[in-house]
């Protein structure tokens, strides 16, 4: 066994799906299609077999946290303040983190009736392209130094203390932070924080983002599979941009497809693969749960921290 997984329990899909009583998923295939990333594949069987047991497990962690807070309150002789249950979701570019996060948002809000669930992507904490260009970091976009980690940690601290906070908005269409636009995150029962960097904090060795998480998930897959999904997503982004000159990807639609795909492979090898191997994958064992995907996008193995 890989040393990295010594403190994880490996569970195959068949065993995992039997850990939760069979119930009907609280959403339709149409709803599922509307929230999944357009290069991802997921169906209601995946929701029932993988994500409903996961939602149940998160409920167990949440109750455990509340019991501990109550007991600590008695010990300290003061009333414990209500805090959100914060979930971190990490993994490579194009591995399906967004689908997992959006699906969890729906399942948590419908499983725990009356609960509010906020979803935040760390893309909004990237420095604007102008700043990255000025600092000669545009080719390092997505690497740890391209994020405003102080702002991200401030956000997490505000949310943890049940305060509403405004954060920047990122657009994949313009490939940049949207000027003068903010997303307001309100105090919630659950907050899902999704991004390639959510287990990292190289700018502050004394504090990690994971310090704020009550439960963390890493979405994993073989590197060759992720590269294939990345190229597939790139081609779909090109198709979407074909008639929109304002779209960042529009410029590539006017070039020969073979040339553009060669460029996409180079971007994968020189940027995304390097980021994955040096910065993202090494944080995998900080997760409480690893969801491993097979070539067909189906989750085939689950690793739960002991």
Q: Is 90 marked as binding a ligand?
A: no
Helix, coil or strand: residue 184 = strand
Pair 157, 209: CB distance under 8 Å: no
Q: Is 93 marked as binding a ligand?
A: yes
| Helix (DSSP H) and strand (DSSP E) numbers for the chain | 11, 9
Q: Is 169 marked as binding a ligand?
A: no
Q: For residue 21, report the phi and psi dihedrals to the nearest 5 degrees.
A: -65, 145
Q: Is 95 marked as binding a ligand?
A: yes
Q: Which class for 205: exposed (0-12), middle (13-18), buried (19 or more C-beta within 10 A)?
A: exposed
Pair 205, 278: CB distance under 8 Å: no
Helix, coil or strand: residue 34 = helix
Q: Is 195 marked as binding a ligand?
A: no
Q: Which of 88, 55, 86, 82 is nearest to 66 (CA)?
A: 82
Q: Is 91 marked as binding a ligand?
A: yes
Tell me the DSSP string of 79-145.
PPPP--EEEEEEE-TTSSHHHHHHHHHHHHHHHSTT--EEEEEGGGGBPPHHHHHHTT-GGGTTSGG
Q: Which residues are annotated as a binding site for ATP?
A: 91-98
Residues within the annotated binding site? 91-98
């Amino acid at each position: 066994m890989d040393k990295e997984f010594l403190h994880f329990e490996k569970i195959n899909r068949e065993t995992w799906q039997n850990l939760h009583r069979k119930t009907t998923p609280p959403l339709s295939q149409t709803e599922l299609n509307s929230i999944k990333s357009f290069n991802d594949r997921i169906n209601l069987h995946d929701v029932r077999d993988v994500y409903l047991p996961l939602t149940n497990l998160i409920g167990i962690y949440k109750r455990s946290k509340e019991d501990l807070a109550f007991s600590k309150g008695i010990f300290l002789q003061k009333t414990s303040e209500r805090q959100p249950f914060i979930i971190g979701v990490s993994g490579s570019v194009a591995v399906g983190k967004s689908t997992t996060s959006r699906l969890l948002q729906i399942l948590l809000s419908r499983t725990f009736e009356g609960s509010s669930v906020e979803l935040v992507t760390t893309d909004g904490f990237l420095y604007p392209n102008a700043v990255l260009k000025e600092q000669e970091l545009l080719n390092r976009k997505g690497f740890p130094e391209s994020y405003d980690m102080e702002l991200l940690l401030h956000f997490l601290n505000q949310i943890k203390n049940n305060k509403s906070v405004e954060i920047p908005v990122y657009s994949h269409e313009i490939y940049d932070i949207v000027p003068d636009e903010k997303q307001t995150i309100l105090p919630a029962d659950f907050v899902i924080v999704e991004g390639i960097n959510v287990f990292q904090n190289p700018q502050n060795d004394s504090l990690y983002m994971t310090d704020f998480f009550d439960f963390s998930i890493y979405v994993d897959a073989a590197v060759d599979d992720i590269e294939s999904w990345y190229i597939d997503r790139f081609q779909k982004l090109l198709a979407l941009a074909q008639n929109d000159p304002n779209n960042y990807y529009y410029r590539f639609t006017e070039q020969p497809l073979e040339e553009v795909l060669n460029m996409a492979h180079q971007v994968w090898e020189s940027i995304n693969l390097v980021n994955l191997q040096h910065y993202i994958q090494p944080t995998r064992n900080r997760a409480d749960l690893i969801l491993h995907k097979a070539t067909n996008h189906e989750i085939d193995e689950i690793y739960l921290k002991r």
